[in-house]
Amino acid sequence: MSADFNFDELTSFTADLGTVAGNTGPFINSAVQFTSKRVVDEARKSVSSGSAQWKALPSAIDYEIRTFQGFGASVIDSEIGYNRDKPAGHLGGLREYGKPDLAPHSDLRTALEANQADFQKGIEKAIDDALKAGGL
């Protein structure tokens, strides 16, 4: 006697997961954008609370989102930091990492660490939203 299996539901579920994977990008992009903005805002606030010598530096902090899809992979990358093309942006490294006679302030690192848990929640929500959009 042989067992008779019906794989219709499994096949349908597999197709649904494929749809969810294809729909996840915009939700994850939104989470990355949101957290990037929060990191920038917190780092700017931290730099602003420093001495007057850094008064032009907060406006040099920004972020850039890059996306790539191809070769079977999708990538969303956020680069957060001091924009050297903005006034005082070239001084960001001194503020962040210091030098022998200037202590590092680590504003960007501190802001990034402060937002890690929120970013994780945002990614989880993005996946949940993609599942809902896929009907799962």
pLDDT tens-digit series, residues 39-98:
999 999 999 987 778 888 999 999 999 988 777 677 888 999 999 999 889 999 999 999
pLDDT at 15: 46
Question: What number is the average pLDDT over the span 96-105?
Answer: 93
Stated pTM of the model: 0.79
Cα separation, 59 vs 44, whole angstroms: 7
Position of tokens 């406006």? 59
pLDDT at 4: 56
pLDDT tens-digit series, residues 106-125:
999 999 999 999 999 998 89
For 32, the token pair is: 């990355």
> What separation in angstroms does the CA of 46 have from each of 18, 51, 121?
43, 11, 24
pLDDT at 10: 46
